[in-house]
Amino acid sequence: MNIILLGPPGAGKGTQASRLVAERGMVQLSTGDMLRAAKDAGTPVGLQVRDIMARGELVSDAIVSALIGERLDSLKEEAGGDTGPGVIFDGFPRTAAQAEALDLLLAERGQQLDHVVELTVDEAALTERIVGRYTCAKCGEGYHDRFKQPAEAGVCDVCGSTEFKRRPDDTAETIATRMAIYRGETAPILPFYDARGLVAQVDGMAEIGQVTQAIESILDR
């Protein structure tokens, strides 16, 4: 089962993907995470995308499509040529060209898309979600200043680390750019999937656990 989680920045795509990974053993492919890893490692791709990401703009379709293709190949290899446990695409595709590229990448590997889950959110809530977001520096678990605090203050629930980090692009300044790009380039790919009967909407303003339940019921039907 291969699914896309689609929604604006801060909608909860990463949060929901990691819960589906834990509960279903699916694999999360987040182009944002891959690009941040490339940036932190100082690879040629990382150097190329650093400033674009800092501004909240999109990196090129070719770069992200290549990253996804490489990851699909290594997953297939790990699963011994099998289709594996299923993939959650988080933050990809973000443009019509990426949506077309994904169709091709999947078809070439004998796979297909099963669901596109659109997380619908109140735009006014997104700024607070984004500026309050932070993650564990060791294991990557996501938190929020108000909406998802660790059980013990300053200690990661998952791995016990006391080091946390915030994304340099999670600032009030980039949010307007990122939202405008979502509206102008990403939301328009929904009709492309809707025409194939793949889109299901989930209320992303509900509590984190309720959102997960709503997604699970779509995957199970």
Using the minimum distance from each CB to ligand ADP, give the nearer residue, 23 or 79: 23
Classified as helix, coil or strand, 83 is coil
* x/- map, 27-66, ligand ADP, by CB under 6 A: ----xx--x----------------xx--xxxx----x--
C-alpha 36: how far from its chain's center?
12
Instruction: Give the active site residues.
Output: 13, 94, 133, 167, 178
Q: Which of 3, 7, 99, 113 binds ligand ADP (CB under 6 A)?
A: 7
Cβ–Cβ contacts within 10 Å for residue 102, how many?
22
Q: How many residues bind ligand ADP (CB under 6 A)?
A: 34
Which positions from 106 through 165 interact with ligand ADP, judged by CB under 6 A? 129, 132-133, 142-144, 147-148
Among ligand ADP, Zn ion, none, the one that 94 touches (CB under a kind-dependent 5 to 8 A) is ligand ADP
Q: Which of 35, 47, 52, 165 is nearest to 92 (CA)?
A: 35
Interface characters, 43-82, with Zn ion (x: CB under 5 A): ----------------------------------------
C-beta separation of 16 from 129 below 8 A: no
Q: What angle do CA 193, 30, 186 make, to 5 degrees?
A: 40
Dihedral of CA atoms 102, 181, 209, 64 in degrees, nearest 10, equals 30
Spatial contact of 79 and 6, defined as CB atoms under 8 Å apart: no
The contact set with ligand ADP (CB under 6 A) reads: 7, 9-15, 31-32, 35, 52-53, 56-59, 64, 91-92, 94, 98, 129, 132-133, 142-144, 147-148, 178, 207-208, 211
